[in-house]
Amino acid sequence: MWTHEQSIDTHAAPAQIWKLFANVAGWGRWNRGIEHIELHGPFAAGTTFAMKPPGEQAFVSTLIQVAENDGFIDETVVGITRVLVDHRIMALGDGRTRVVYRTEISGPDAAELGAAITADFGDVLAALKAAAETSA
């Protein structure tokens, strides 16, 4: 299994981060890796969404865990490869919040795939932070 974790701290409250997470249609405003996204139901465990990165094929993911103001986990399965991305919100005190993206990939070429999937996480987290702090 291949794993990767990246985080950023912000002065935005957990509820503000959650508001951005729960607005799936708006993810493209702070994640340039999304050309098109469509949620197929409520932002809740069991719901699927289709996402198309720029210049790539669309893929379908499933929300497997959703906890308001705490975070969510999505799962993408392609063949025998399974990708889990945990988007965690952690209140740190003193008005700070940490947002953590943790990725686990199992299957063939997990390390190569993982490096490609997580390459823009620093930019995505920085843009999420900016969006949350601007709208707070």
Report the alpha-carbon distance of residue 50 to residue 117 in Å, rounded: 16
pTM of the model: 0.94
Q: How far is CA 132 from CA 16, 17, 56, 96, 111, in A?
A: 6, 6, 28, 12, 31
Residue 88 near residue 70 (C-beta atoms within 8 A) = yes
What are the extents of the domains in the chain? 2-135
Is 2-135 CATH 3.40.225.10? no
Q: What is the pLDDT of residues 78-128, one digit of tens each?
A: 889 999 999 999 999 899 999 999 999 999 999 999 999 999 999 999 999
Amino acid making up residue 27: W
Residue 78: per-residue pLDDT: 87
Report the alpha-carbon distance of residue 99 to residue 88 in Å, rounded: 6
Q: What is the pLDDT of residues 58-71, one digit of tens each?
A: 999 999 999 999 99
